[in-house]
């Protein structure tokens, strides 16, 4: 280790000492979350009492949690939209007290229209604090001497797609946070921020890999593991051009890049013929170049979502990245970071009780006019709940539609994992099939039959004789073994959902079928969905269940199996 690097590592270790102390204080507060959460809520209410929203909902008279619940209904984005429109026009006090809105983060595309989430200094402080605790624990658990101050690959979107009438930028949150990091942290993120302005998918991922190749990457982080798979496949498919660029210090001239981006990237990388020759010697005999060939799995870490519908993508990571440790990033949305995972191999994270006030509605009561509402300290192990956060950045009893499950506790603070978006369900004959049922059945059936489609989705199909559900898979994946997979998948759906079982056994629903669609059709579906609703491709979650009866017609089914 050079003297300069030694001094930098020593300085970094000194700098994180306060973070160690913060984690210890946080874990102590988890022993009794009720007073911590109540104090946080009342601080938010007092601070925002003189906003238009606060006056309309009587914040000045709120003294207890019960007062707050009585005066503020649980509601989705649409209730906040009129106030947010006023903030977009420059009237910050419509929703926020004494806060400058730095950015409107745009939702990630799981809804039909874009939502504008105000990002304030308080939001950013909470966001960075939680990320700091996640990162410190992840690095501490994985060879800190090897990982310290080494490069990080993280894809970010455009933080300034357009401006509101008041001149406030609207765009991608991860792209914005990359710009406002401290200088020592920003130097570790090797993917240039200009990537947010690149719309061509190949060019976007090529530039990300070009920025990282030849550097000792320590951490690959992407909200969706499909992003990591695309990075890996780009590295392999473009290996000859990438190694030529690495050797010469250039950037492929054929890439579809905006002129301003290409000009900004010009001359950024120096020639590195030594690294190019070394990697060529690795790639040539194997006829491939995967991340595990460039960055060995015993010196790297992956941070990505591991819950919900991510299973089919996670199973493909070892092929490209090797036996690399994977740590879930936590339940993160444009609205905030809600959990902090502290262990590998689980999508569960402890609620960030310092950052947001949390309420929970039992899964079966979400449509009730007077549902049971619970605090974080009142949840039970194994329970399924809809998450209802209140944030210091203007979201009050916000029905985000995230369904979570309690998997354990830190003290009395629950560990929760994301199950799926609650609005994703289908109910042809009373079966009330949810996305959670689909993802769980898919996981078990794929493992049992070794049938692992690159991408999939399930949707109902109407048939006058007997309606049925279909799993949509692309042509290259519909090889031998699909029939056995369908049998296992249908059986697992029946095991997961007794109503589905009853309708299948009673003859009201037909056997599950496979709808074989053209190669690349799922990518087009994703692109069309993002174009309609906006958001970041890296945070986009393809629905595992689509409730539309006309879905098969839109997907161009080539043939049916089953």
How far is the C-alpha of 313 from the C-alpha of 324, rounded, in Å? Answer: 15
pLDDT of residue 236: 97
How far is the C-alpha of 373 from the C-alpha of 358, rounded, in Å? Answer: 10
**Neighbouring C-alpha atoms within 13 Å toward the C-beta of 266:** 9
Domain ranges of the chain: 3-121+330-421, 143-324, 425-561
- Cα–Cα separations (whole angstroms), residue 101 to 21, 90, 168: 30, 9, 7
The two tokens of residue 433 are: 């099939």
Per 3-state DSSP, what percentage of the chain is helix, strand, and coil (rounded to 5)? 45, 15, 40
Q: Report pTM.
A: 0.78
The two tokens of residue 448 are: 């049992």
**Neighbouring C-alpha atoms within 13 Å toward the C-beta of 218:** 17
Q: Among candidates 333, 331, 354, 330, which has minimal Cα distance to 342?
A: 330
How far is the C-alpha of 421 from the C-alpha of 436, rounded, in Å? Answer: 8
From start to end of 422-474, where are the E strands? 425-426, 433-434, 457-461, 468-474
* DSSP annotation string for 251-291: --TTS---HHHHHHHTT-S---HHHHHHHHHHHHHHT---H
CA-based angle 352:358:360, to the nearest 5? Answer: 125
Q: Which fold has domain 425-561?
A: GMP Synthetase; Chain A, domain 3 (3.30.300)
Q: What is the pLDDT along the chain (562 residues), one digit of tens a residue?
A: 455 444 445 545 555 557 778 899 999 999 999 999 999 999 999 999 999 999 999 999 999 999 999 999 999 898 999 999 999 999 999 999 977 999 999 874 333 467 899 999 999 999 999 998 998 888 888 754 455 568 899 988 889 999 999 999 999 888 888 787 777 677 788 999 899 899 888 999 999 999 999 999 989 999 888 889 889 999 999 999 999 999 999 999 999 999 999 999 999 999 999 999 999 999 999 999 999 999 998 889 999 999 876 776 788 899 999 999 999 999 998 899 999 999 998 999 999 999 999 999 998 788 788 899 999 999 999 999 999 999 999 999 999 988 899 999 999 999 999 887 766 678 777 677 888 889 889 989 988 998 888 889 999 998 867 889 999 999 888 877 899 999 999 999 998 887 788 778 877 789 999 999 999 999 888 888 777 655 566 667 788 898 777 889 999 999 999 8
Pairing of strands 152-154, 116-119: unpaired
DSSP state of 75: B
pLDDT of residue 111: 39
- Cα–Cα separations (whole angstroms), residue 193 to 158, 176, 287, 535: 8, 9, 32, 16
pLDDT of residue 7: 46
How far is the C-alpha of 449 from the C-alpha of 489, rounded, in Å? Answer: 9
Helices in 411-481 by DSSP H: which ranges?
435-449
- Cβ pair 540, 222 in contact under 8 A: no
How far is the C-alpha of 500 from the C-alpha of 520, rounded, in Å? Answer: 31
* DSSP annotation string for 144-183: HHHHTT--EEE----S-SEE-TT--EEE-HHHHHHHTS-H
The two tokens of residue 393 are: 């950045």
Residue 561, SS3? strand
- Cβ pair 111, 424 in contact under 8 A: no
Query: Exposed (0-12), middle (13-18) or buried (19+): which is 516, by Cβ within 10 Å?
Result: buried
How far is the C-alpha of 430 from the C-alpha of 143, rounded, in Å? Answer: 52
CA-based angle 105:373:386, to the nearest 5? Answer: 45
Pairing of strands 169-171, 116-119: unpaired
CA-based angle 309:26:412, to the nearest 5? Answer: 70
Beta bridge partners of 413: 410
> Would you mind telling me the total number of residues written for the chain in this entry?
562
- Cβ pair 62, 411 in contact under 8 A: no
Helix (H), strand (E) counts: the chain: 23, 23
Query: Exposed (0-12), middle (13-18) or buried (19+): which is 15, by Cβ within 10 Å?
Result: exposed
How far is the C-alpha of 193 from the C-alpha of 187, rounded, in Å? Answer: 11
Q: Among candidates 210, 290, 298, 303, which has minimal Cα distance to 257?
A: 210
- 396 membership: H or E segment, kind and range: none
User: Order of strands, edge to edge, in the sheet holding 349-351?
Assistant: 339-340, 349-351, 413-421, 402-410, 384-390, 357-362, 374-375
Phi, psi at 266, each rounded to 5°: -60, 130
**Neighbouring C-alpha atoms within 13 Å toward the C-beta of 446:** 22
């Amino acid at each position: 280790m050079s003297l300069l690097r030694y001094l930098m590592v020593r300085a970094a270790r000194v700098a994180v000492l306060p973070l160690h102390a913060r984690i210890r204080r946080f874990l102590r507060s988890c022993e009794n979350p009720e007073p911590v959460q109540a104090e946080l809520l009342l601080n938010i209410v007092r601070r925002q009492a003189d906003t238009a929203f606060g006056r309309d909902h009587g914040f000045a008279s709120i003294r207890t949690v019960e007062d707050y619940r009585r005066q503020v209904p649980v509601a989705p984005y649409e209730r906040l939209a009129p106030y947010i429109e006023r903030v977009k026009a420059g009237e910050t006090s419509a929703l926020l007290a004494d806060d400058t809105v730095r950015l409107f983060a745009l939702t990630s595309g799981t809804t039909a229209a874009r939502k504008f989430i105000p990002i304030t200094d308080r939001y950013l402080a909470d966001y960075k604090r939680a990320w700091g605790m996640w990162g410190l624990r992840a690095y501490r658990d994985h060879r800190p001497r090897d990982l310290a101050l080494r490069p990080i690959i993280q894809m970010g979107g455009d933080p300034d797609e357009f401006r509101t009438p008041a001149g406030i930028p609207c765009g991608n949150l991860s792209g914005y946070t990359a710009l406002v990091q401290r200088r020592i942290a920003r130097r570790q993120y090797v993917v240039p921020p200009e990537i947010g302005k690149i719309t061509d998918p190949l060019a976007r991922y090529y530039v990300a890999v070009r920025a990282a190749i030849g550097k000792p990457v320590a951490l690959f982080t992407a909200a969706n593991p499909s992003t990591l798979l695309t990075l890996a496949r780009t590295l392999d498919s473009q290996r000859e051009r990438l190694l030529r660029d690495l050797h010469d210090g250039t950037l492929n001239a054929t890439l579809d890049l905006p002129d301003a981006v290409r000009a900004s990237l010009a001359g950024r990388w120096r020639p590195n013929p030594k690294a190019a020759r070394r990697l060529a010697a690795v790639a040539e005999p194997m006829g491939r170049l995967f991340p595990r060939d460039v960055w060995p799995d015993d010196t790297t870490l992956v941070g990505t979502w591991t819950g919900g519908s991510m299973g089919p993508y996670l199973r493909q990571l070892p092929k490209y990245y090797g036996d690399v440790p994977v740590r879930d990033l936590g339940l993160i949305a444009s609205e905030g970071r809600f959990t902090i995972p502290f262990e590998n191999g689980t999508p569960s994270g402890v609620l960030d009780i310092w950052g947001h006030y949390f309420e929970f509605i039992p899964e079966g009561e979400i449509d009730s006019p007077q549902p049971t509402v619970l605090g974080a300290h009142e949840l039970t192990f194994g329970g399924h709940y809809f998450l209802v956060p209140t944030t210091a950045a203007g979201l009050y009893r916000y029905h985000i539609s995230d369904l979570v499950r309690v998997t354990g506790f830190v003290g009395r603070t629950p560990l929760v994992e994301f199950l799926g978006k609650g609005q994703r369900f289908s109910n042809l004959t009373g079966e009330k099939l949810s996305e959670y049922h689909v993802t769980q059945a898919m996981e078990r059936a794929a493992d049992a039959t070794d049938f692992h489609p690159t991408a999939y989705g399930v949707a109902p199909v109407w048939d006058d004789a007997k309606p049925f559900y279909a799993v949509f898979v692309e042509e290259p994946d519909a090889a031998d073994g699909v029939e056995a997979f369908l049998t296992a998948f249908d059986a697992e759906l029946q095991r997961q959902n007794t109503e589905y079982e009853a309708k299948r056994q009673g003859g009201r629903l037909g056997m599950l079928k496979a709808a074989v669609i053209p190669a690349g059709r799922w990518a087009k579906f994703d692109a069309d969905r993002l174009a309609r609703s906006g958001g970041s491709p890296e945070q986009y979650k393809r629905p595992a269940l689509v409730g539309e009866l006309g879905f098969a017609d839109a997907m161009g089914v080539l043939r049916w199996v089953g």
